Structure formats: structure tokens, C-alpha cells
Structure 1
Amino acid sequence: MAGGKTHRWVDTTGCFIKREGKMRFLAFAYGFAVLLVFSHGMACAGQARANLGLDARLRFEYQDGFNAKYYGDNPPRGAGEDRFLLERLRAGFDFMPADKVRFVLWMQDSGAADLAMPDNAFYNASLQGENNPYRDRCELWDAYAELMDVSGLPLNIRAGRQRLFFGDKRVFGPGEWGNSGRWIWDALRISFRSGKGSADFYYGRTMVHDPHTFSVGHRHFYESFGFYSCLPLTERMGGIAVEPFSMTKRDDHPNYRGEDGRTGPLDSWYAGFRAYKYHPGGLQWDVTYVRQFGNYGPDDIDAYGFHILLGYRLPDFFMSPGISLEYSYGSGDSDPADNEHGAFDGAFGARDRMYGRMNLFKWRNIKDAQVNLEFKPCRGLSVVAGFHKFRLASDKDGWSLNPGVYRDVTGLSGNDVGDELDIVCRFDATNSTCLQAGFGHFRPGGFTEKVASGRQADWVFVQWEYRFAAQLL
């Protein structure tokens, strides 16, 4: 195996190897049993409903010429060629003792078999700890209580561990492609619905994916409050939907280093909007703009990002073809010595389907020109091909794959990072089973050749996912 890896299938995929993993599982099983007994008693009174759910996912990945942190044949950590299997199991229980009351308890176990990248490669200096995208053993995933239609109003209140995602998930997404799930929250969410319009207000803190410690026993990463809304306009105004939003991202720990070497806390603020119009057939467009300001340690934040999409679909033609053009921009830091933090950080957005499927880029210091082709050859099968041209927004800032390593503060290496071609096929075999397979190829540009490697990179994946739900009461 590449990189001299040793095969450790049992201890990397087994949830119950460590004593701590056993205790977590027993705690979950005990809580599940208590809920089941309680729900049975309520059901006898004719009031309760309960559902059991399961979501199992396996994904094989092959990476040649890159990994999650580095580009090239000889990375400082991990291997330049790697083959590994990702497993993720979610299981849980939804219980409604009354029509307007809901309790949810779900666990998640994420593992990686034969992965060359060591866990300590995901040490985060700002967090001063590990935040692992591949592994997180026997962890709480959803655990919340919800009140619906409070006081007869279209108002829901949800408190506890949950996922928060809005709109197209570009600014606020769960990051579900990541094996451990990128953004999981301990939060209070208040949701108001009126027709097609909505407004969500929240306060919460993000969970840290530390596979060695149960999340209830360690600190959170970011603290945030904000709102996300949707305002559908009338047909006389074009039938456009507008989504204004604003949120914060804060961390009181003084671990954020400014350009003069001093450190301080993070206090970041965002304000922006998304506007779009989609037709099942015909012209589609989508625009998002976000402004970021505040403080990154001792430095002032002055950053922004935007995304534009223009597409056309022909659902009644053979294979229901669609074509779209996209452009994504995330500002970079143009001066490494002006005590101003100019790099946009993408807020709490997803990244896996936005900026190339190989996950070489984030919504930071990026110019991404993209063209997509979509087909549906038969029922249940879809094929999406995407081509990206990547450049740096600022040639003096770093590549978001690892900006501390791949950066030329002089700007002499240019801004051409490279091109990426992705092809992904999805087949919904049944209502419960989904199969996916994909391929990605990256060709480095002048910047990558100078600061990283001139070799081309490839990526292949095959994924199986099964979802099961059963009504118990």
C-alpha cells in the first residue's frame, strides 16, 4: 500500500473497541430503552407516535497526487497516493408524545479504514485541538426537543443538538459529504413560516469532531447567533425569491494570530442576501453576496464573497439535459503586512459540491469559473459533469487547501491554481438505497507548479447508502 501504510481494519472501524466507545453506546441504548418504555405507555393512552431510523453509508475513495491537506507526491503528512474506506452509521429514535411535541435522539459513528493521514494532522491551532473530518466515534448527532405551532401560530422552537442549514447551503450548510459531518450545533432555533416565506432565528455553538473525546465533555469551537429568511415576491414582480441573512462567528479564545504576530479572539460578522428564480424547465438564475467584517485577533476583517449562476433546463427533451455557468469569488488578503484580514472564510457553508468535488478548494481567496452539464438517462439515474478554472483572488494570499503552506507573499508565483474536471453519477435504486460513483482530475497551473507540485492529480469514489425508517407506535 502506498506510503507504507499498515492495514488496521478492526480498530479503525469498530465502534466498541475502546472502553469509552462502549460507555457511549450503553448510554445511548439506555436512553433509547427509556424513551421506548415511556412511548409505549403514552401509546396505550392513544397519544404517542414513535419512529426508528437508520442511515448507513460506505464510501471507497482513491486519491492520487493529493490528500486532505497537501498536494503532490511527497506530502509532509499522509501519503501522495491513498486508498481508504469511509464508514458512517447513524441510528436513532423520534418520539412524539403529543401532536405538537417532538423528541429526537440519534447517534453517529464515523470511521476510516486504511487512511494514511494520521489523526493529529487535523490539529487546529485556533482550536488548540483536533477537528477530524474522517473519524468521530459513537457521537451524539441529533438530540433535541421541539415544540411546533406554539400558541396556534406557525412558530416552531427547537433546542438541543441539531443541524442548521438554509437556502442552497452555500452560506449555511451541514457539510454532509464529510464523513463526520462538518457543522453540527448545540443550538436554540426559532422558526416562523407564512405561506412560502420563512424566518429562522438561532443561537448556538458548533461541535468539535474529536474522535478521542465525547463532545459533551469538551469545549465547542464557534459561537454564533443570527437569522436567515426567505421572502418570495409576487408573480407581478417576477416570482423571484430573496433570502436576506446575517450571522456572527465568535471564539473568545485568544488564538487567532494577526499579521504582526500578536494574537486575540475571533469576532466575525456577516450580512448578505441570496436572490434566485428557478423553473422546472427554462431559464434559471441564482445570486449570493456576503460581506464579512469584525476582528480576526488584532486585525480588522474586511472581506466578501459572491456567487452567480445562470442555467437552462429542458426536462421534456431526451435525457432531460441541463447546462449552467457559475462564477464564485471569495476575497483574499492582498497585503500580508497591513493589519487587515482580507480573506473571506465562507461563514458556515458547505464546500463539497460547490468548488470542485475533489475538495481542493474552499470559498476563500478563490476565483472559480465553472460550467456544468446534467443528464438523466433513465429513471433514477442522473449524471453531472463539471469543469472548473481556479485562480487566486489575491496572488499574495494562499491556496485554501492549506494557505499556511501554499502561499507566496510576493505574488511572483501568479494566481493560476489549475483546472478540475468532475463526473458524478447517482442512481436511486430504491426509495431506501442510493449508489454513487465519480471521478475527478486536476491539472495544476503555474502557481501550483511553483509552490506545490507540477504533477496532475486524480480522484475516484464509489458510495453506497441505505436509509431505513419504521414506525414503532
Structure 2
Amino acid sequence: MRQSVITAAALLLAWPINAAAEPRPELQKFRFHEDYRFLRTFSGAPDPFDPIKYVPLDDSGSSSLSFGGSIRERYEYTGNPLFGDDPQDEDGVWLQRANLHGDLYIGRNLRFFGEFSSALSEGRAGGPSPVDENELDVQNAFADISFPVDRVNSFTLRAGRQELQFGTGRLVDVREGANVRRTFDGVRGLVEVANWDLDLLAVRPRRDENGIFDDRTNRDEVLWGVYAAGEPQLLAASGLDLYYLGFRDDRGSFVQAVEDETRHSIGARLSGNRQGWDWNLEAAYQFGTFGDGDIAAWTAASDTGFKFDETLFQPRIGLRANIASGDEDPADDELQTFNPLYPRGNYFSQAAVLGPRNFFNLNPHLNFQITEEFALNTDANFYWRLEKKDGVYSPSGQIIRGPGQSDARYVATGVSVEATWAPLRNVDFTAIYTHLAPGAFIEETGASESVDFIELTARFRF
């Protein structure tokens, strides 16, 4: 297939890279977080891509260009999509995502970053979904103007199209698992002061179309607020995130109705690790208006674990426990359903079936680092709905099942196995299997087939 030919060429090009070379900074999920100006004085082993990773434009090297890109090939097969409600793909779906970016620094205070993305798909029954295909468009295109506050701290004004993620992506995430990553248009102010990084933003999401350079700003939605991340000295071995996020959607959709939605989220996240233990705890409260009614919603999420560093395969055992409010009565004007805004698509598993609204779940998991390059992760997910008069939602907020006449809470049981192999710094492979068995609520409200999901992914970055 056309995707496979391109991937094979990319992997062959990458293979000669010396995996034993002196360690370099890791490749980042957001490529604009990489800064290759370190190559001005780098004395380690060369990389074949160094000539395009750092191109000086003046004698001092303060102005420079950098180029990079990636290609990801993915095969997915889902047996009984959405418990049998969605059409069955005959032979699975082939997905390809290719990116090419350029990074221009002009002196110390001005920067331009641009990135093109192409997402293609084949095999989806009924045609590609909105997150499957976007033939060619601009993924990132922003300018930074930086102002030093003092010798340590700075302020950067960023304007244009840009990807976002806050914390671990529970409320705002780039949606890496999908073939089409999420991005926004707008303005941000990035402030470094003392032990804090502040992010002030006013943005709108991109409205994805599947053609060539036909995306546009989604005028139905807007996101604004401030996100602060720091390491207060009073919290030993812990980081603290504090945030306010405002959100408006002209077409907010819930079991209750489709109405104008204005929502304000106030939250905090505590994360860290010490003596083998690690923790990631987050809580948020939401208020605002939905049509003529008021919003009062909340969530609490946790991921705690212990890693046996001195044991064979360095196992980590952990437990995620999460809860989010649901609507108590769809017949009145008030709305209690939590809105995760722009969350990870794979919030509970790579199958991306269930979303974090009106639910509570327990998610034990066990991870192994078999070798430096190979990791194996396993988990189970037990998922309930919280309020019986509210339904079950997808990660994107679509209503999977309304409450119907069912009094059952239990929605589904999921088990997943994920293997990741990264033989080279810029090449990795992933294999995932997820089985999702319907619970009483699904069985009582419609199709109730078990979902089986298989994913095979190869990725090359430079």
C-alpha cells in the first residue's frame, strides 16, 4: 500500500543511526519543544540529520533554521465497533500521518514555527471519521516574541495556530492517539517567574475538514484562562498545577438538550514521586450556564503506583480511580454533567470508546520495562455510570447511550495489553489489544456485543 512503501523507506533511512551514541535530548510529543541550538557546541557523536537540524544563518549562530518531520503508520481492527452500533469494518483500517516542520530563530527574541500535517485513511466502513482523515493542512503556524524579565525569567507572546496540552491531558490534550491531532487558533502568554510557569490563553479549536488546506477556525467554541505549574518548596517532591479555564460552546450536547454552554473550570493537580512511589491527583469544579439553567459539575482523578526499581523488569503496579458528575434530572434546566473540554481520545484505553462524563471507574495496571528498549503494559478497567438519569458518552462528548429505561450502573469491563519497542531514538513500534465486555447498562439499552480492538503502529521521527 502507499503508506507502507513510505514507511519502509523512512525506516531504512533511519536504521544506520548509531543507537549507542552519546545521549541527546529526547524527541518530544510537541516538536516545537525541541531546540537544536545545542548543536553549536555539541561534541558528541554526529547524527545523519544534524545538517538540517541546525542551520546557522549568521556567524554568531543566534539566528538559525531547523527542519524535522515524522511519519506514523497504523493498522486498526475493531470487532463490533461501539458494542455493535457502528458499521463493521471488513478488513480493518489503515491510517497514515505524516508531518513536516520548520523552526526559525531570529536573534534571541523572535521565533517562527510552522508544521504541515497529512492524515490519510483507508478501510473505514461508511467512510473516514472526523479524526481519521485530513489530507493536508497546517497543524502549527505561530510566532513567538520573547522578552526577558531578568537573567532567569522571561515572557513570551505566542500567536497563531498551535497545539496544546495541560497537565496529563485530562482537560486539554492534543489527542495523539487519533490520526488527526487537535490544534487551536489564538494567542497565549507564556511566563516564567520564580518556580512557576504560567500559561495565559485565548484560543478557538480548529474545525477539521478532510480536504487540502480547507480547515478553518471553529467559531462555535472558545477556550480561555490561565494554567500555572510549579514546584512550591512547601510540597517536597511534588509539583502543583493550579488552573482556571473558561469555555463556551454554542452547541453543547448532553442527554438533557443541545444548548448554548458557558462553563468555568477551577482545578488543581498534585504530582510527584518519592522512594519508589508516584502519584498524580487532580480535582476540578465547574460552574456556568447551559441554556436557561445553571451548571454545577465536578471531577476527581487519581493515578498512584509503586515501582520496584531493583527488581527484574522494574515492575510498576498502580491504580487509577476516577469519578465525574452526571446530570441528576434531564427534565429540569440545571445541568450537573461534567465536561472534560478537550481530553485525551484514549482516556481509558486505545480503543477510545468511553469518555470521562457521568462515570466512576477503577483501573488497576501493571507495567514492565523488559529491556531498555522494550516495555509491556497491562491493565483492567471497571466502568460504571454515576447518575442513572444520565447516559454514557464518548471521549469526544458524543452520546453513546441515553439512559433509556435502565436502572443499571455498570457499563463495561475492559482489559488491555500494550507492547512498545523503541530500537532507535527515532523509531518505535507499538502493538495493542483491548477487549471491552458490555455490562448490564449496555445490555439493557441496545446492541451489546463485546468489542475487540487491535492496533499495530510504526513511527519514524527526524
Per the alignment, residue 205 of structure 1 pairs with 204
Per the alignment, residue 277 of structure 2 pairs with 283
Match of residue 71, structure 1, among 70, 83, 91: 83
- Judge conservation of contact 1:257–1:298 (CA < 8 Å) in 2: no
Which whole-Å CA distance do the structure 1 matches of 2:294 and 2:203 have between them?
A: 24
| Offset at residue 275 of structure 1 (A) | 1.2
Are 1:434 and 2:428 matched, yes or no?
A: yes
Note closer, same or farther for the CA distance 1:10–1:385 as it changes in structure 2 (3 Å cut).
closer
Match of residue 394, structure 1, among 369, 387, 390: 387
Are 1:250 and 2:248 matched, yes or no?
A: yes
Which whole-Å CA distance do the structure 1 matches of 2:440 and 2:72 have between them?
A: 38
Aligned residues: 410
Secondary structure class of the residue paired with 1:357: coil
Superposed CA deviations along residues 289-310 of structure 1, whole A, max 9, x for unmatched, are 1111112233321211110222
- Judge conservation of contact 2:103–2:112 (CA < 8 Å) in 1: yes
- Judge conservation of contact 1:283–1:311 (CA < 8 Å) in 2: yes
1:378-393 equivalences under 5 Å are 378-393=371-386
Match of residue 147, structure 1, among 145, 148, 166: 145
Which whole-Å CA distance do the structure 2 matches of 1:216 and 1:55 have between them?
A: 21
| Offset at residue 260 of structure 1 (A) | 7.7
Secondary structure class of the residue paired with 2:322: strand
Secondary structure class of the residue paired with 1:169: coil
Which whole-Å CA distance do the structure 1 matches of 2:172 and 2:61 have between them?
A: 39
Are 1:61 and 2:76 matched, yes or no?
A: yes
Note closer, same or farther for the CA distance 1:339–1:466 as it changes in structure 2 (3 Å cut).
same
- Judge conservation of contact 1:78–1:118 (CA < 8 Å) in 2: no
Secondary structure class of the residue paired with 2:393: coil
Are 1:317 and 2:314 matched, yes or no?
A: no
Deviates more, 1:356-365 or 1:209-218: 209-218
Match of residue 446, structure 1, among 432, 440, 449: 440
Stretches of structure 2 that go unaligned for 5 or more consecutive residues are: 7-53
Which whole-Å CA distance do the structure 1 matches of 2:364 and 2:61 have between them?
A: 55
Secondary structure class of the residue paired with 2:424: coil
Per the alignment, residue 99 of structure 2 pairs with 90
Superposed CA deviations along residues 405-436 of structure 1, whole A, max 9, x for unmatched, are 51224443x01111000111111111110111
Letter in 2 for 1:158: R
Secondary structure class of the residue paired with 1:71: helix
Are 1:192 and 2:207 matched, yes or no?
A: no
Letter in 2 for 1:349: P
Match of residue 337, structure 1, among 298, 314, 331: 331
Stretches of structure 1 that go unaligned for 5 or more consecutive residues are: 1-8, 15-38, 123-131, 469-473
Per the alignment, residue 471 of structure 1 pairs with none
Per the alignment, residue 175 of structure 1 pairs with 175
Letter in 1 for 2:110: V
Letter in 1 for 2:201: Y
- Judge conservation of contact 1:351–1:363 (CA < 8 Å) in 2: no
Letter in 2 for 1:297: G
Superposed CA deviations along residues 309-333 of structure 1, whole A, max 9, x for unmatched, are 2210112211011001111111111
Are 1:456 and 2:450 matched, yes or no?
A: yes
Which whole-Å CA distance do the structure 2 matches of 1:188 and 1:331 have between them?
A: 31
- Judge conservation of contact 1:448–1:454 (CA < 8 Å) in 2: yes
Percent of aligned pairs sharing the same letter: 19
Are 1:272 and 2:267 matched, yes or no?
A: yes
Letter in 2 for 1:227: V
